[in-house]
Amino acid sequence: MSQRKLRPYILFGFVTTHDALAAEEVLKKTGIPVSAVPTPSSLAGGLCGIALRIEPVDSDRVRAQLADRGIDVRAEVEMGDF
């Protein structure tokens, strides 16, 4: 049996749902693949219930796009799944 490797991804967390939805809209308009997902309970302290999942290769572009628009990212964490 072969072992499956974890595929890394980045989650961005926000204090408000408004920020999460605004960030999702910005990223979609700029062509960056993004998925809205529930904020994991391990990150939930002080964050809204929506996190954005992106590919690690896009993280620098995401940070730049959101900073340019004044959208406050409160958490960024690399995670993995199969």
pLDDT tens-place string over residues 31-62: 999 999 999 988 878 999 999 999 999 999 99
Model pTM score: 0.90
Please indicate, yes or no, if residue 2 is contained in any of the structural domains. no
Tell me the two tokens of residue 67.
């900073």
Please indicate, yes or no, if residue 36 is contained in any of the structural domains. yes
Helices (H) and strands (E) in the chain, counts: 2, 4
Element (H, E) at 19: helix 17-29
Q: What domain count does the chain have?
A: 1
Q: In 1-82, where do the E strands start and end?
A: 7-13, 35-38, 50-54, 75-81
The pLDDT value recorded for residue 45 is 84
Query: For the domain that residue 74 is a member of, what is the CATH number?
Result: 3.30.70.260
